[in-house]
Structure formats: structure tokens, C-alpha cells
Structure 1
Amino acid sequence: MNKSNLLQNLNNLKLLPSSWAVKNFSDVVADNSGGNKKLAKSNFLDEGDIAIVDQGKDLIAGYYSDPDFMVKAKPPYVVFGDHTRAFKYIDFPFIMGADGTKILQPKKSNCNSKFLYYFFLSINVPNAGYSRHFKYLKTLKIPLPPLETQKKITRILDEADKLQQLDKQLIENYDALTQSLFLDMFGDPATNSMGWRLSTIEKILETKSQNGHYAPRQDYIRDGIQMIHMSDAFYQIVKPGNLKRVKADERLILKYEIKSKDLILSRRSLNYEGAAQPCLVPEYDEPLIYESSLIRLRPDLDIINTTFLFYFLNNQRARQRYVLKHVTRSTISGINNKGLNAIELLVPPINLQNQFAERIQAITAQKKQLQQSLVKSEELFNSLLQKAFKGELIK
């Protein structure tokens, strides 16, 4: 019988070297979350004396300067996001972000904190939505080799982790470079520091902005036309190939087709800042259409370059100055065609916009190579991680 559960394969525990022990979670891990003051997100600062760690994906969520809020236990810690399932290794004093932040530490000196962190990364915490997930951790069986073996495993995984973190950092550097390039070539969009001509979205389009197609459930079929949905447009560029397909005749395709020089924007979002977010579409060898939660912009390429338009609409200063005032605030924030068309934007000379797009293309090519490197470094790390907790990494 295959003894496994949602989190770990229990059969692997039987194959561990004889020098390893297997302990219940409650015997190894202390939950030191209680008794600490928690800071509401509305009080997070961009600068301060003490870092704030919450359950979000970023290592540090903000800063604050009141030492009364510092976690009482001494570092290091493993921080677990009770809602997000995120694990973080924290080796410095910090302040807890409110709600969902769990502080975990070994109960005894026979367990290394970093080893415990890597063990948590090796398990599969089920996704229960925005529910509590700590209950799953409490069912774990924790494999514990001798302390010296834990330290050896930790050193190997540290080196593998450095490789993937370096790739991630280099990719982030390229992302920052694109924003710096925009500012260098066009100045601060909020103040129009270089004095470019102002226009509106409506006046720089080849055709009117167009809401997408609504397809009823029965129109989704295996051999239809690929349709871009909101979930496909979250990451700034659509990745065709595995999109849902719908029935669409020539009339629908003609009306809703999306091309590589077009831009799509989200019509609505659960948060205010998420509405009117732009997304690029790559060259593709079959027709693509888009659904009704999205709006298509087809720029007049004699006036505006699609890449420039994307980076303008994605620039935080430009969004604050020109875009977000046209977004409605409600439970689901949104923008309609009237508001979208009224958005003002800078219109530098088209040759300068085209130069910007060429440089972005070169940066994107280099970034793609790094992303391929990241895939390999992540595969290596995950392979070593799995071997480590099967007792196969250190003989």
C-alpha cells in the first residue's frame, strides 16, 4: 500500500538511513507567534529602523521604528504564511505583520533552523484558498538526521539556492533597467519634465478601443479559437499555446482578433491599482481573440509605438498622474471605454519611441536567456531538496 498524504510521501520515511529519526511536528517545532504585537498594513512605512515581515511573498514588507513591536524570541526564525503558504528564513529581528504570520522555531538544539526551513520547502502544502494552512503543518512527520548531517545538507542547499537567487536578482535588475531607460529617454511622465506633446488615448488609436467577446460556457470547445482571459493577462505579456478555446466564426474573429501590435488592458480588478493594467501580445501563428473583461487598444503606429505605450501605462508615476483618476472605486474597481479614452499621455517623437522599443527588445532577449538559466537552477535546487529529505544527499 502506498502510504502518502497531501503533504509528504510517508514511504520515503521508511527508507531513511538508520541514523535518522522521524519526529512528530509538535515534538520538533515551537509556534512562537503568540504574545507578540502585530502591526496593521496601514502602518507599514517605506523607511524605519526595524524590518516588518508578513505572510506576503516579499522578504520584507515594510519598516517601523517602535522596538515594542519586535518579536520577543531571538532569531533565526522560519516564518510561515498561514493564508499564503509562503515560507521564509529570517535571521534578523523583525516586527510581525498583522494576520496570518506564523513564527516557527526548533524546540531543541538537535534541530538546525535552516535545515527545518529547507524541509518545509520540500513539502507540498495543499492550497485551501484564503483559508488557514497551519493545520496541515501540524500533521507532518519530520525527518531528523544527526546535527552534523543537518549542517552538511544545509550547506549544500545554501550553495544551490545562491545560484537560483542570483538568477532571480539579475532578472529583477533587467526589469529595473527597463524602467530606468524609460525615465532616461522620456523624463518623469508625471511632471512631463521634457515637455513632450500631450494627447489622449482616443486620439492615438488607429481604431476605437474595443471590449472583448463574451462566450457562454457551451461555446468553449477543444478545437476552437484561442481566447485570452484576465488570468492570462496578469504577467504583462500573454503566453499563447495553452489558452482556452471557443467557437468563433469569421465575423467574431474580425471583430475581436488581437494582433502583436495591439495592447490589451484589464477592465476590472478586485483592487483599485489593478484596473487598466496593460499587457503585451507576442507574434503568434494562429488567430487570437480576447474576452469581455479586457479592452483592446490598437495604436496608430505613425503616432505611438506599442512598446512605449505599454511602458507608459505601466509606469507607477504615470498611473498615479493620468490613469487611476479614471478608474472607479468600488468592490470591483474598473474602467470603461469613456474613461480609458480620456486618459492623457505623453507623445514624444515616434523615432525616439521606436529607438526605445529596439532597446527594450535587446534587453528582453538577454532577460529571456536569464529566465532559461533560472529554470535550470530551480530544477537543480528542487532535485537536491528532494534528495536531501530522502536521505540521499549525504552518504
Structure 2
Amino acid sequence: MIKFFNNFYFENIFFGRINLFNKESMSELWELKEIKDSCELIMGQSPPGSSYNEKGEGMPFLQGKAEFGKTFPSHVKFTTDPKRKVKKGSILMSVRAPVGDVNIANINYCIGRGLASLNLKNGDNKYLFYLLNYLKPKIQESGTGSTFKAITKSGLEKIKIPVPPLEDQKKIVEILEKAEKLKEWRAKADELADEYLKSIFQEMFGDPGKNPKNWDVAKIQNVVQKTKNENPEKDYPDESFYYIDISSIDSKIGKITSYSEFLGENAPSRARQKVETKDLLVSTVRPNLNAVALVSHKLNNQIASTGFCVLRPSEKISPEYLFYISRSKYFVESLINQCKGASYPAVNNSDILSLKIPIPLIAIQNQFAQIVQQVETLKTHQSQSKQEIDNLFNTLMQKAFKGDLYARFRPQIKD
């Protein structure tokens, strides 16, 4: 997330009111308000456990950070007895284990005790989203508790935030959205690299559904190894681990782009599958979204959601080949045809494991894997360019808030 307040500005606005610029040169004033005065705040409350379901009955339910994505959450559960309802567009904040992460509600939700909802009074919630992302480190420091951090309603209410005029809020959002658009364009280069690899895959192996090169065919279960489950809550309650859930995967590029850290005793109920480097994670939920990804070295021996089917390649199949099989139209359509449930379509692990796929000679698979590795190396170099762009974004944001980009737009805090 782009940090659009410089450190001096942040440290002072968080702890009190100060003048940032000479008033005589300012035509605009920004007001500093506590959250209790500037926002509508709703603290979550968990419904009765008996009301939970994954069949789409009732209202979509979010318990906490585990369901967060980069910007929007992805719900798994529903409740027929919602206690705390929040509207679409609300800012959702994780208030316990961990504290401070934010998302934007993409639909109406019921929220549990791990979340709070904030709506800026007479303001732009997208501005609030960017602001709270920047304030996250200090909000985390406000959390209390020895086992895991949490922040109370009164703790949230006392946090002071700058509330510019609505016109200025929208200008800030406009700048930040443009900056993020540039980042998206940079990410597009990685997507183009992935498209190149898909074309190489087609050239070397053909359409997996038609198997024009007459490769041997086998069920996936015959070319993968067995995996094991663990229960962090019981097996290592005092140790921390990284948790990978469905929202951790960017389905556009087939990468794990985020994950959460938990103590074993606070493990989500779905945190059960221990994964290893180059395991393939295949989401069993809404297979049309094709949420699949290989586990990176950093996430070796960490925990994935039971919402994944974990495929651990044997010596008969390369991880890279299996990954691109899972990204194919044949694979996706085969799983869609096996879906159960209209409102919450899903498949079973057995549906994935019983799917038949072509198995080329391992030497040819390895040739493809080498090409993939070369492209991944190129993408690593591209990420360095991305960092340079991020630095330029931060400079742009600082200038915007100092008023260097346009004369009228200059922030100031009221006495």
C-alpha cells in the first residue's frame, strides 16, 4: 500500500494537533477528529455457532482477517442469525489476532467479533481505506493482550485522523488510484510473461483435453504423493505459522500474494494442511475462478486451508507442468462440470484426484520447467523495476500532500 503521509506528518497528527505549514500561505484547513466523532463505528458480534453454514443459506459472514484479500474479502461461511450487519462499501478492520488490517466490503455482510466496520461521516470511504492502511503500524501498537493483540471499541474511538474537506479527500483518492493504476500496468508485464508460457505449453504438449500428441494418460492421484494434515491448535499452540487461504491467491497470475500469521492456539478452523515447496494448491471452492498456485520456498512447512486440494508431485510429473495443466481450459471446465451446489459451487478432493491428464516424458516436462524458471528469473528482475516505481509513487504522494503539485491543495490542521 502506498504510504502517502511522510513520517513527520504521521507522527504528529496521530498524537495531537499541530500546524504543518504557515497559516498565512494556506487557503485550506484540515480538521483532526477522533474516530468516534468522524466515523460510524460498528464492532462485530459472532452469531450462534449453530447458525453457520457453507450452503449459501442466510447472510454472508466474515469472522476475521482470515477472509481478507488485497482489497476485498472473500467469504466462505453464511449465517441464518446475523447479529452485526454492515453495508457494502464499509471499511472492515481486523481488531483481534491480528490488529489493523483493512478491506472494503464488496457486498453486505454480517461480521464477527474479529472485525469492526467504519464509515466516514460525510466523507469518502476510499480515503479512509488509504489512511487506515498507513496508520496500521500505530493501530497495531494500540492493541493489548499478551497471547494475541486486540483493540477495543474505546481504543479505536480515541484514534485521531485528519478529515480534509470532501473535495480534498476525493483529490487524494484520485491521486492514489492513479498511482495504483500505474502499479497495475507494471504487474501487467508479469501477466504477459505468463501468457507467453501458456503458449509454449500449448506448443510443446498440445491441448490437455484433446491430447493431440498421444501422451500416456493417468489420473492425477497416480502421479502425486500423499500429504498429511495437522492441527496447529493442538500440535503446537504456542508456535506461530503462516496461513494460506483462498484469498491468498491471485487467480489472475496463479500466485500466492498474501498470507496471515497466527499462533497455533488461534488457528482458523480450516488451517489443517501442511504444505511443502512446489506443492500445487487447487481451490475446491468456485473452481471457475481457477485459484491455483505453487507453494514458494518461503512457505515451506506452513499451513493451508482445507479449502484447497494439495497436490504434491511425484517423480512422474514436474510441478511446473502440473501447474500449467491446472491453468488449462480443460482442467477448469472439468471441475466446473463436477461442481455441487448452485449458490456455493464446489468440488471434492476426489473430483480433482480422479481427473485424467496427459503425462509426457519427464525429460520433456523438465525442458518446459527450465523455460519456466528462465521466465521467472526475468520476472524477478522486473520486480526490481517495480520497486523503483513504488519509490517514485511515494515521492509523488509526498509532493501532493505538501501542495507542490497544485497550489490550492495544501493540507493544514485546525487549531
Could you tell me the TM-score, scaled by structure 2's length? 0.51
CA distance in 2, matches of 1:239, 1:123: 19
Deviation at 1:125, TM superposition (A): 7.1
On the 8 A contact 1:160/1:377 being kept in 2, the answer is no
The structure-2 alpha-carbon separation of the partners of 1:318 and 1:211, relative to structure 1 and needing over 3 Å to count, comes to farther
Match of 1:281 among 266, 289, 295: 295
Do the aligned partners of 1:3 and 1:11 also contact (CA within 8 Å) in 2? yes
- Larger relative contact order (Cα-Cα within 8 Å, sequence gap ≥ 6): 2
Separation in 2, partners of 1:16, 1:345: 70
What do you get for the CA RMSD once the two structures are aligned?
A: 4.9
2:281 corresponds to 1:264: yes
- Aligned residue-pair number: 275
Tell me, what secondary structure is at the counterpart of 2:402? Answer: coil
Distance 2:376 2:292 in 1: 17
- Map 1:97-136 onto structure 2 (within 5 A): 124=131
Amino acid at match of 1:305: S
Q: Counterparts in 2 of 1:60-79, with a 5 A limit?
A: none
Match of 2:140 in 1: none
Aligned match for 1:170, one of 182, 189, 196: 189
**Of 369, 373, 377, which residue of structure 2 is paired with 1:361?**
373
- 2:362 paired with 1:350: yes
- Pairing 1:201–2:220 present: yes
The Cα shift of 1:191 comes to 2.9
How far apart in 1 are the matches of 2:280 and 2:287?
20
Aligned to 1:297: 311
**1:318 pairs with 2:341:** no
Amino acid paired to 1:141: P
Q: Distance in 2 between matches of 1:294 and 1:212?
A: 12
Which residue pairs with 2:390 in the alignment?
378
State the 1:359 CA deviation.
Answer: 0.6
Q: Does 1:191 align with 2:210?
A: yes
Q: Distance in 1 between matches of 2:193 and 2:17?
A: 42
Deviation of the 1:345 alpha carbon: 1.3
Of stretches 345-354 and 159-168 in structure 1, the one that deviates more from structure 2 is 159-168
1:195: Cα distance to partner?
3.3
Q: Give the whole-Å Cα distance in 1 for the aligned partners of 2:23 and 2:381.
A: 38
Matched with 2:264 is: 246
CA contact (8 A) 1:219 1:246 kept: yes
Structure with bigger gyration radius: 1
Deviation at 1:196, TM superposition (A): 2.8
Q: Distance in 2 between matches of 1:157 and 1:286?
A: 35
Q: Displacement, 1:165?
A: 5.7
Q: Is the 8 A contact 2:276 2:299 kept in 1?
A: no
TM-score (norm 1): 0.54
Q: Sequence identity of aligned pairs in percent?
A: 23
Using the TM superposition, give the Cα deviation of residue 342 of structure 1 relative to its aligned residue in structure 2, in angstroms: 1.2
Deviations 1:219-264 (A, max 9, x none): 5434x5x3543157414445799643538xxxxxxx9653324323
Aligned AA (1:300): S
Q: CA deviation at 1:323?
A: 2.7
Whether the 8 Å CA contact 1:213–1:292 is kept in 2: the answer is: no
Q: Aligned-pair distance for 1:356? A: 0.8
Partners of 1:213 and 1:177 lie apart in 2 by 38
Aligned letter for 2:164? K
Correspondence list, 1:216-255, <5 A: 216=233, 220-222=237-239, 224=240, 226-231=241-246, 233-235=248-250, 236-238=254-256, 243-246=261-264
Letter in 1 for 2:245: M
Pair 283,392 (structure 1): closer, same or farther in 2 beyond 3 Å: same
Work out whether 1:141 is the aligned partner of 2:141: no
Distance 1:339 1:325 in 2: 10
Find the counterpart in structure 2 of residue 72 from structure 1: none
Give the AA of the match of 2:211. Answer: N
Residue aligned with 2:275, SS: coil
Taking the aligned partners of 1:163 and 1:274, their CA distance within structure 2 comes to 25
CA distance in 2, matches of 1:331, 1:11: 52
The alpha-carbon deviation at position 202 of structure 1 amounts to 1.5
- Residue 124 of structure 1: SS of its match in structure 2? helix
Contact 2:287-2:332 at 8 Å conserved across structures: no
* Structure 1 SS opposite 2:322: helix
